Chains A and B, each alone.
Chain A
Amino acid sequence: EVQLVESGGGLVQFGGSLRLSCAASVFTFNNYWINWVRQAPGKGLEWVANISPDGSRNDYMDSVRGRFTISRDNTKNSVYLQMNSLRVDDTAVYYCATAVSPGKLDYWGQGTLVTVSS
């Protein structure tokens, strides 16, 4: 079974930066697309970014493109989300989730909370 553990969340001021990590315990980590999904307090799920198994392709939601960067290190079974120029509306629990096929997020981590203060 795949287990994902996110870390790196915390309290940061408007305009600041954070780097989230997602560590996976799975033998075939480099078979998976990895997605970041966020959930603002009391709100619904919002897809943020994804990265291909070999790290050569990625995509972002419009409001974070240019501010967030997703990357991965398959030797460490890890994916990262570098978040710069953070805004108050980036406040959310950030989940990483695997996907072997389109539109199917099959394994999720427990999430890490990012709070951006003004």
Chain B
Amino acid sequence: QSALTQPASVSGSPGQSIAISCTGTDSDVGAYDYVSWYQQHPGKAPQLIIYDVSNRPLGVSNRFSGSKSGNTASLTISGLQAEDEADYYCGSSSISRPMVFGTGTKVTVL
């Protein structure tokens, strides 16, 4: 039961846009449009920021957007702000289990 693959780290300057990839297989990311993204600040619980590939829950900034092509999903953060510095995890339903998470990406605001 392998995790989805994410880059270990991504960085950008304030105001820039960054993208985080999440690569899975035909059995998870490629099989369903049930991809979600979570933001986790140090010592805090994860928070849902994107669901069903590209939908934002109420209250989440529109600077966060999601997309998917084949077996790879992406999270884009535009207008990068200091408060966006956190760990980000993708998640997906899969054929073999209800949920599989990505390896996680540390976002650094330079």
Contacts and interface: CB of A to CB of B under 8 A. Distances in A.
Indicate whether A and B interact: yes
Interface of A: 35, 37, 44-47, 50, 59, 61-62, 95, 97, 101-106, 108-111
Interface in B68-110: 89, 91-93, 97-104
Contact of A44 (B47, B92, B98, B103): B103
Interface residues of B, number: 27
Contacts of B47: 108
B98 A59 contact: yes
A108 B49 CA distance: 12
B92 A103 contact: yes
Nearest to B35: A103
Contacts of B98: 35, 47, 50, 59, 102-103
> Per DSSP, are chain A's interface residues mostly helix, strand or loop, or mixed?
strand
A1 B102 CA distance: 27
A33 B60 CA distance: 23
A105 B57 contact: no
B1 interface: yes
B45 A111 contact: yes
B7 to A, nearest CB: 13
